[in-house]
């Protein structure tokens, strides 16, 4: 562990401030709580919100997993994981089922989460109504009065224009039947995983300075129309590496002749699906 920094980089007062915000967020599922976002050693747009949430809740006994677009081995995931290893000295892992905290950019792990785990999302734009209403004063009022009809306007426009709802990621949801929430740019494929999830889901937006949360076992419903119900992406292909037909697949270009293959975006899931007998604890 590096010297010169407090445990997990943030000072204790800042962690308290963030935890107070998180408690409020958990108390009002889906409601955006403002917080005093700190300057972090990486620019806005790189996950400062998620990092601050993780830093605030991290303890010495925690086991941290960090993924970016489902993968543990991309640059950002590696950097953030290494950052916490240095400033907190916590154990890290690539295995979803062994982590106590999973910080993620733009995916929910395929492996189902359990009670006691925490999923921390990195959020660019927390406000689902921002596309429609630029004024913060107005959007706050709309949330306060549950004035959400206009969100369906966006879906209506999609159907009118494309014949179907075109939004495929960051798909708006209703949390606990009360607050309209933006789940961050996860593919809509992942939306059903948020519903009644046993884990705690925390959301941090550093640039926009907002926290929100979905407590365990909270209903989360994706918006739709009765005659255009919510559906998830489907692929004709299976994962080229593990054969999975149930996971979110990335399309990878393999050569300059346009060769391509489809592989699971969740690297941990893919690896374990390939070698199902390779489990950490013996039966």
Partner 1 sequence: MNTPLLRVAGLGRSYGARLGCRDVSFELYPGEVIGVVGESGSGKTTLLDCLSGRLEPSAGTVEYLTRQSEMVDVYAMSEARRRLLMRTEWGAVRQNARDALRMGVSAGANVGEPLMAVGRRHYGGIRAEAEAWLDQVEISTDRIDDLPSTFSGGMLQRLQIARNLVTHPRLVFMDEPTGGLDVSVQARLLDLLHRLVVDLGLSAIVVTHDLAVVRLLTHRLMVMRHGTVVEEGLTDQVLDDPHHPYTQLLVSSVLQP
Q: Let me know: does 142 contact 191? Beta carbons within 8 Å.
A: no
Structure token digits, residue 266:
């969740």
- Alpha-carbon distance 248 to 267, whole Å? 11
Of 159, 241, 242, 261, the one binding partner 1 by CB under 8 A: 159
In three-state secondary structure terms, 65 is: strand
Can you give the length of the chain in residues? 283
Residue with tokens 């920094």: 5
Q: Let me know: does 5 contact 90? Beta carbons within 8 Å.
A: no
Name the one range near partner 1 by CB under 8 A: 21-29, 141-149, 203-211, 266-274.
141-149
Give catalytic residues, as residue numbers.
30, 239, 242, 264, 270
Of 16, 135, 152, 260, the one binding partner 1 by CB under 8 A: 152
Determine phi and psi for 26, rounding to 5 degrees. -65, -35
Angle at 155 between CA 219 and CA 128, to 5 degrees: 60
Angle at 238 between CA 232 and CA 243, to 5 degrees: 125
Give the shortest CB-218-to-partner 1 separation in angstroms.
Answer: 21
Name the one range near partner 1 by CB under 8 A: 77-85, 153-161, 171-179, 243-251.
153-161
Q: Let me know: does 16 contact 162? Beta carbons within 8 Å.
A: no
How distant, in Å, are the alpha carbons of 20, 102, 113, 185, 204 from that of 168? 33, 23, 23, 9, 21
Residue with tokens 């445990």: 7
Nearer to partner 1, 141 or 260 (CB): 141
Determine phi and psi for 204, rounding to 5 degrees. -130, 130
Of 4, 75, 149, 276, the one binding partner 1 by CB under 8 A: 149
Nearer to partner 1, 151 or 211 (CB): 151
- For strands 200-205 and 220-222, give the pairing: unpaired
Structure token digits, residue 156:
């209506």
Instruction: Name which of residues 59 to 118 contact partner 1 (CB under 8 A).
Output: none
Nearer to partner 1, 163 or 283 (CB): 163
Nearer to partner 1, 5 or 230 (CB): 230
Spell out, one character per residue from 179 to 218, where the chain touches partner 1: x when CB under 8 A holds, - when not. ----------------------------------------
Of 13, 160, 258, 278, the one binding partner 1 by CB under 8 A: 160
Nearer to partner 1, 64 or 223 (CB): 223
Give the shortest CB-213-to-partner 1 separation in angstroms.
Answer: 24
Instruction: Rule CB under 8 A: say whether 145 interacts with partner 1.
Output: yes
Spell out, one character per residue from 217 to 246, where the chain touches partner 1: x when CB under 8 A holds, - when not. -------xxxxx------------------
Of 39, 75, 144, 257, the one binding partner 1 by CB under 8 A: 144
Of 132, 240, 242, 261, the one binding partner 1 by CB under 8 A: 132
- Alpha-carbon distance 57 to 55, whole Å? 6
Of 157, 237, 246, 251, the one binding partner 1 by CB under 8 A: 157
Q: Applying CB under 8 A, which residues contact partner 1?
A: 132, 144-145, 147-150, 152-154, 156-157, 159-161, 224-228
């Amino acid at each position: 562990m590096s010297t010169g920094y407090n445990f997990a980089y943030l000072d204790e007062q800042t962690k308290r401030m963030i935890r107070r915000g998180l408690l409020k967020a958990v108390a009002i599922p889906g409601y955006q709580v403002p917080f005093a976002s700190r300057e972090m050693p990486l620019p806005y747009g790189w996950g400062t919100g998620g990092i601050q949430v993780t830093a605030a809740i991290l303890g010495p006994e925690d086991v941290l997993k960090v993924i970016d677009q489902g993968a543990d081995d991309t640059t950002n995931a590696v950097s953030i994981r290494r950052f916490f290893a240095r400033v907190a000295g916590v154990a890290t892992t690539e295995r979803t089922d062994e982590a106590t905290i999973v910080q993620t950019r733009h995916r929910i792990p395929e492996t189902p989460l359990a009670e006691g785990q925490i999923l921390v999302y990195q959020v660019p734009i927390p406000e689902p109504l921002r596309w429609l209403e630029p004024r913060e004063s107005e959007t706050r009022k709309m949330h306060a009065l549950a004035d959400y009809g206009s969100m369906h306007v966006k879906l209506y426009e999609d159907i009118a224009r494309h014949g179907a709802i075109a939004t495929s990621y960051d798909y708006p949801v209703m949390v606990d039947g009360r607050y309209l929430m933006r789940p961050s740019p996860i593919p809509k494929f992942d939306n059903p995983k948020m519903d009644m999830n046993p884990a705690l889901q925390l959301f941090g937006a550093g640039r926009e300075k907002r926290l929100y949360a979905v407590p365990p076992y909270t209903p989360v419903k994706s918006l739709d129309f009765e005659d255009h119900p919510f559906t998830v992406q489907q692929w004709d292909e299976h994962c080229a590496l593990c054969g999975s037909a149930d996971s979110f697949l990335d399309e990878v270009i393999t050569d300059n002749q346009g060769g391509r293959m489809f592989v699971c975006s969740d690297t941990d899931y893919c690896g374990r699906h390939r070698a199902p007998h390779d489990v950490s604890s013996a039966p």
